[in-house]
Amino acid sequence: MLKYIVLIIMVIMKAILSASDTAFTYINKIKVSQESKKNKKALKIKNMIEQNQRFYGIIEVGITMIELLASAYAAEAFVTPFSKYLVTSIGLDEKIAIVLAICLVTIVLSYFLLIFGSVLPKRIAKNNPEKTAYSLINILNILAILNYPFEKLITFSTKILCKIFRIKPRDKEVLSEKEIKMMIIEGKDQGIVDKIEKDILFNALKFNDIKVKKVMKQKEEIDFINIEEDIFDVLKNIKKYKYTRVPIFEKNKDNIIGIFNVKDIAIKLADDTKLNIKIKDILRPAMFVSEEQKLPYAFKEMQKNKQAMMIVKDKDDNVVGLITMEDIIERLVGNIFDEYDN
């Protein structure tokens, strides 16, 4: 009877470790952090999460030792009597009986360890991560104390092996994009982050990977002004322009020589209603960017040069479109409309 009790205890211990592993993976870390200010168990959970290397050390060492001990104990407790039973009752050869006994004991033990020590507790913990973590945190703290000598030994051994194989350990854990997204979703589920904030944060995570050509206005959509055009003809067409800034070209539209700003002509009109000027007199320098560049580069360049528009060129130096500061910001916050937008 005692041998069954010992194995049941081992299965229960593995179940505790498996459930803890899953619970700490799916637990709402933001909620735990908030509750840690007034709840001692929450504080213990928070500390365990922050010391994740120590936590996973407890899990890995614990599960490995339980499986080894369970296998060794089962072999000692069940293989010999079971093999004797096979020899006496069925008349099997002793060597064959031992091999068969080892196989059957291993299969039965693996089944119980897998179902009751892993699959079932993980399923329960995944459905109730907070409840599971709060229930098991005190046991984990005791295991952390017991595991301390192994932790130090493993840490020391790992450092030696890293030096031998010239593996440089990371100074600190870096959150993956997937983990950050999970935290944002958790924040939204708890009402800490609203939908607009969630969308902006998700867009920000993708921002660095977006190329200018994915956001720019195509060349066919752009208004251009010929440098030779009369200033009064430009004035007549102002209301047709999609932007307050319009590229100025000379000879052909791939030769952009500057930017016309409607505000500049308004200032000139205020000073001189006769407007005795040419387009080149109010020309502003144009900025250019490759269509293959990423949005952060375009954003920083516009910010640095106090410009709100860049002309986009391809690898052959042909104009293929334009991008504005508004286009870039819209990739983060969504569409921005004003009274002139349809």
232-264: b (≥16 Cβ within 10 Å) or e: eebeeeeeebebebbbbbeeeeeebebbbbeeb
282-308: b (≥16 Cβ within 10 Å) or e: bbeebbebbbebebeebbeebeeeebb
Q: Where does 212-333 sit in CATH, by number?
A: 3.10.580.10
pLDDT category of residue 273 using cuts at 50, 70 and 90: low
| Mean per-residue pLDDT over the chain, rounded | 89
Helix (H) or strand (E) holding 130: helix 129-164
- The residue type of 18 is S
Least confident of 74-83, 138-147, 156-165, 179-188: 179-188
Task: Name the DSSP letter for residue 171.
Answer: S
Q: What is the pLDDT of residue 75?
A: 87
Question: pTM to 2 decimals?
Answer: 0.58
Domain residue limits, the chain: 2-174, 177-206, 212-333
Higher pLDDT, 238 or 42: 42
pLDDT at 339 > cutoff 60: no
pLDDT at 14 > cutoff 70: yes
Count CB neighbours of 132 within 10 A.
23
User: Per residue in 34-69, pLDDT tens?
Assistant: 899 999 999 999 999 988 878 888 899 899 999 999
State the Cα–Cα distance between residues 220 and 294, nearest whole angstrom. Answer: 22
